[in-house]
Amino acid sequence: AQKITQTQPGMFVQEKEAVTLDCTYDTSDPSYGLFWYKQPSSGEMIFLIYQGSYDQQNATEGRYSLNFQKARKSANLVISASQLGDSAMYFCAMRERLTGANNLFFGTGTRLTVIP
């Protein structure tokens, strides 16, 4: 089974509007971390936001917020007030704690296009 599923290959959003990028995950580890990365056309992975499995509140970082629904195993990224520079690939990722693995498991990504 895929550890991270991103079901939206591509999304469009009007500039200044909000957009939600979906992410669901699968793990039996009770302790894990969820990450979102942005990958512009330059190729570098840029860290956006993190949510720990034991965090009580949804993570927020500026215009980014993470809608964490633990029972549903979803960790959707919300980008508010979209800007043209937000056009990029977005990847959801997870790291499990108790398995001892330190690597990130990534989804297949969502390509976001912001329309002027």
Q: Hey, what are 115's tokens?
A: 């329309």
Nearest distance in Å: CB 98, another protein:
8
DSSP 3-state of 46: strand
The residue (of 21 and 93) whose beta carbon lies closer to another protein is 93
The residue (of 87 and 106) whose beta carbon lies closer to another protein is 106
CA angle 11, 68, 84 (to 5 degrees): 30
Neighbour tally for 47: CB within 10 Å: 11
Applying CB under 8 A, the residues found at the interface with another protein are: 4, 31, 33, 35, 37, 42-47, 50, 52-55, 91, 93, 95, 97-98, 101-109
Nearest distance in Å: CB 14, another protein:
26
The residue (of 15 and 30) whose beta carbon lies closer to another protein is 30
> Do the beta carbons of residue 97 and residue 33 sit within 8 Å?
yes
Q: Can you point out the beta strands (E) in the chain?
A: 4-5, 10-14, 19-21, 24-25, 32-39, 46-52, 60-61, 64-69, 74-79, 88-96, 105-106, 110-115
Nearest distance in Å: CB 116, another protein:
26
Nearest distance in Å: CB 17, another protein:
26
The residue (of 14 and 99) whose beta carbon lies closer to another protein is 99
